[in-house]
Amino acid sequence: FHEIIPEAKVQNIVDDSLLAEVSEAGHITPAIVSRMCKYYQIAQETGADLIFNQCSSVGEAAVIAAKTVSVPVLRIDEAMAEQAVMSGRRIAIVATVASTIEPSCNLVRQKASGLDTEVVPYLVDGAMWALINEGQEAHNRLVKDTVLKAAEECDAVVLAQGSMVVLLPELTDIRKPVFSSPELGVRKARRMLFPKEAQ
């Protein structure tokens, strides 16, 4: 945001229990939806012009919570999904957290409505264990191996979690398009906040 929308005042509402809860359940829960609705209402009450949902795993809860506020809501991975479906018929979704797979695949399918698109999920087994026990390098190696495999089998690769953006410098030799959400998401946020610039 500092680089792309430097004039924006960013306020964060953080609940690090959300990811743990959705990971344990394997899907969003009524409690997650309830908390998200409350957070969105708080954001609206504090004068937000845009609510930017940072976590892909709770993206489907964001859709529900968005109905409780009049402020525009943008999921971090929305712009990424829109661009991915325009890049080919077979789209790979690479994730290291199981709870991210389904909402990410569903979002790409939604953006591909009317197109002949196949969504192929790739869960990087052991990546989180490697990150915790062996470090970032071991984690990145596992993820890169999966991305290379996905690029061989698909027309485009989607990195399902925003945190995977750190891998982009290691993926420059891949000839297929590889999409990561943070920059694309913030650029779409700018277009939403300043629509006259996009004209």
pLDDT digits (tens, 9 = 90+) for 140-165: 899 999 999 999 999 999 999 888 88
pLDDT digits (tens, 9 = 90+) for 106-141: 999 999 998 999 999 999 988 888 888 888 888 889
Mean pLDDT for the stretch of residues 48-58: 95
Please give the full DSSP string across 42-70, using - where no structure is assigned. HHHHTT-S-EEE--GGGHHHHHHHHTT-S
21 in Cβ contact with 29 (< 8 Å): yes
* H helix runs in 95-135, sequence order: 98-111, 127-133
Measured between alpha carbons, how far is residue 22 from residues 18, 104, 161 in Å? 6, 14, 14
Q: Judging by DSSP bridges, how do beta strands 90-95 and 118-123 pair with one another? A: parallel
CA 150-152-155 angle, 5° bins: 75
What pLDDT does residue 198 have? 66
Mean pLDDT for the stretch of residues 9-26: 93
